[in-house]
Amino acid sequence: MAKNTRDILLDYTFDEIHKYGYFQASTSDILKKCHIPKGSMYHYFSSKHDLTLCVINERVKPKTVKNYKIVVKDSYFESLIAFLEKIDFSKKAFYYGCVMHKLIVETAQHDKEFKSALYAIYEMVNEHFKTILDAAVQEGEIKKCDTKEKANFILTALLGAISLKNDAALAALVKELRVLKPLKKQTRHTKQQTLF
């Protein structure tokens, strides 16, 4: 099925914003790349702001949810760790950083609509991580902790590592999380003594 003009505009705008950020993404470059006249854009969107708000809701949101989705296999906690260890900065999803994070840093202080939409996405991802941690606590895979706080720590550290393409920061995050695992109970081996 061929994409309609609106979808083409959303796709190209998403790519430009992911590469260059909101302020550097040029509407004329977007229109040139997707071979759409300016008038056609204004048929669907009243401004670059309106176009970007639709990109946030219709492209950034589903792609971010997909990129941060943790598929649980045997263990909730080990699935989280496996997810973090498999983050690949060279893949398309993170090659230019995290688009949600890039837009939060760039626009949240300047635009209430962008801030509201982007923080809603951030909270969805944060809640997903919290749900994984809650289940890990319930299953005894990790120590009892403030899972909301830990989820926020994981997400902010992860976003920083992705923005910097810093493997060492990612490894440090995983190492820090490993301290959540409970100490294995050691069985006491008592030496039998013969008393006379």
67 assigned to some structural domain: yes
Report the interhelical angle of 147-164 vs 76-85 (nearest 10°).
Answer: 10
pLDDT of the residue at 63 = 97
Q: What is the pLDDT of residue 1?
A: 47
Provide the pLDDT for residue 187.
46
Contact (Cβ atoms closer than 8 angstroms) between residue 150 and residue 133: yes
Range of the domain at 117: 53-178
Structural domain includes residue 85: yes
Which of 65, 27, 30 is closest to 46 using CA atoms?
27
Tell me, yes or no, whether 190 lies in a domain: no
* pTM of the full structure: 0.88
Cβ proximity of 132 and 83 under 8 Å: no
| pLDDT score of 185 | 54
188: in domain = no
Model pLDDT, residue 129: 98
Neighbours of 86 (CB within 10 A): 8
pLDDT in tens, 16-63: 999 999 999 999 999 999 999 988 899 999 999 999 999 999 999 999
pLDDT (0 to 100) of residue 25:
94
136 lies in some domain? yes
* Ranges of residues in the chain whose predicted pLDDT is under 70: 1-2, 185-196
Report yes or no on 121 lying in a domain: yes
Q: What is the pLDDT of residue 182?
A: 86
**Domain assignment of residue 106, yes or no:** yes
Q: How many domains does the chain have?
A: 1
Has residue 185 been placed in a domain?
no
For residue 120, give every residue at least 6 positions away whose Cβ sits within 8 Å of its Cβ, in sequence order, or none.
61
CATH number of the domain residue 67 falls in: 1.10.357.10
